[in-house]
Amino acid sequence: MAATEDRVQSLRGAILFAFGLALACYLAWLLRAELLLLFVSALFAVVLRPLVEFIEGISIRTWRPFRKSAIVVLIFAVLAGLGLFVYLAVPPVIRDLRAFAQEMPSRLPEIQARLQKIPFADQIDAAGLVTQAQGALTQSASFVLLSLKNWANTLFTLAMGLILTVYFTLEGDVAYRWGLSFLPPLSRMRLDAALRRAQIRMGRWLLGQCTLMLIFGVLSVIVYLLLGVRYAYALGVLNGLLNLIPVLGAALSIGLALLAAAVDSWGRVLGVAIFYLIYVQIENSWLTPRIMRHSVGLPGLAILVALLIGSALAGIVGALVSVPTAALVAVLVDEYLVSKDS
């Protein structure tokens, strides 16, 4: 009789656990966007931790001015750098755009004469193209105004991600210890050791990514100067910064550089296009696997697979956090799934 009651209670517990697990999975699916935001914010807090600790360690004799405000100093430095870049780079572009708009009516005959030299281009109406371009710009402006709600949601998500990253940086240790407190002491110590190893490897990802950004930015400046592309320094800095964003960053870089080169000559456009085609192949097949392998300790194939899976699951955001996430998964798999010889 007692054995029957034990089996009934065990079956009842299994059914309740199955229902609870199904409910948790359903809630996780409903809140997948919010959970992704929490995960990305926590991941960035872990990645930025070494940089925050470095700022905290700055001392003037025995006084540490940034001990309690390192994250604020870091955010202010990033915003100040972006503001300085906009202040130095945007005014020349606006000035040239205004001059180009004023000179456009007088340059139409010259443009049309150049088009006549292109095979099968003698029927192109330059004035009609300009009119169509103006209409397209008007429609684009209308589209932007109509999609203000989407822009507002995107800005709100970015702001919430920044705020969550700050809170995870400031109070992450409390949440971390609280989460570990649910485990038995031995399991707690083992998981804590594994996560701390993963934290070191994820922190090195930022160093590797900054190395890629620096290489791309410097090479872009050199190529633009050799080709005589205007705004070479500004475009180089922007290319390096945008390289942080997988896929979309490269597309924006290519578009801006080609647009700047097209103002002067088609030969420069061809030179910029050739540079990007060569660099993208070298970065994807050689630079990224090797630099990230030395930074996070992952094979090149694992890094490429992580980038593909991350972009497929969560787009640009997934690709952005795919490598540090792969480093975390690799440490946990090595700790709990890989059998070690005793």
Model pLDDT for residues 73-88, shown as the tens digit of each residue: 888 888 888 888 888 8
Nearest to 258 by CA among 246, 274, 247: 274
How many angstroms separate the CA atoms of 264 and 306, rounded?
40
Token pair of 326, please?
């792969």
pTM over 0.85: no
The pLDDT confidence band at residue 223, using thresholds 50, 70 and 90, is very high
Q: What mean pLDDT value characterizes the chain?
A: 79
- In this predicted structure, the answer to whether residue 222 has a pLDDT above a threshold of 90 is yes
**Three-state DSSP class for residue 106:** helix
The domain locations on the chain are 32-108+126-182, 186-342
**Three-state DSSP class for residue 124:** coil
Say if residue 301 is exposed, middle or buried (CB neighbours under 10 Å; 0-12, 13-18, 19+).
exposed
Q: What pLDDT, on the 0 to 100 scale, is given for residue 104?
A: 64
Least confident of 86-100, 133-147, 157-171, 259-273: 133-147
- Helices marked H in the chain — which ranges? 2-30, 32-47, 49-56, 70-116, 126-146, 148-180, 185-227, 232-242, 248-262, 266-282, 288-296, 300-320, 322-336
More confident residue, 206 or 136: 206
Q: What pLDDT, on the 0 to 100 scale, is given for residue 12?
A: 75
The pLDDT confidence band at residue 123, using thresholds 50, 70 and 90, is low
Task: Please report how many Cα atoms fall inside a 13 Å half-sphere around the Cα of residue 295, on the Cβ side.
Answer: 23
More confident residue, 226 or 312: 226
Nearest to 276 by CA among 291, 261, 263: 261
- In this predicted structure, the answer to whether residue 20 has a pLDDT above a threshold of 70 is yes
Alpha carbon of 72 to those of 64, 75, 170: distances in Å? Answer: 14, 5, 10
The top-scoring range by mean pLDDT among 76-80, 224-228, 264-268, 300-304 is 224-228
**What mean pLDDT do residues 99-128 have?**
60
How many angstroms separate the CA atoms of 312 and 337, rounded?
25
How far does CA 22 lie from the centroid of its chain? 33
Model pLDDT for residues 236-284, shown as the tens digit of each residue: 888 888 888 776 777 788 888 888 888 778 888 899 999 999 988 888 7
More confident residue, 215 or 153: 215
Close Cβ partners of 182 (under 8 Å, ≥ 6 residues apart): none
Q: What pLDDT, on the 0 to 100 scale, is given for residue 275?
A: 92
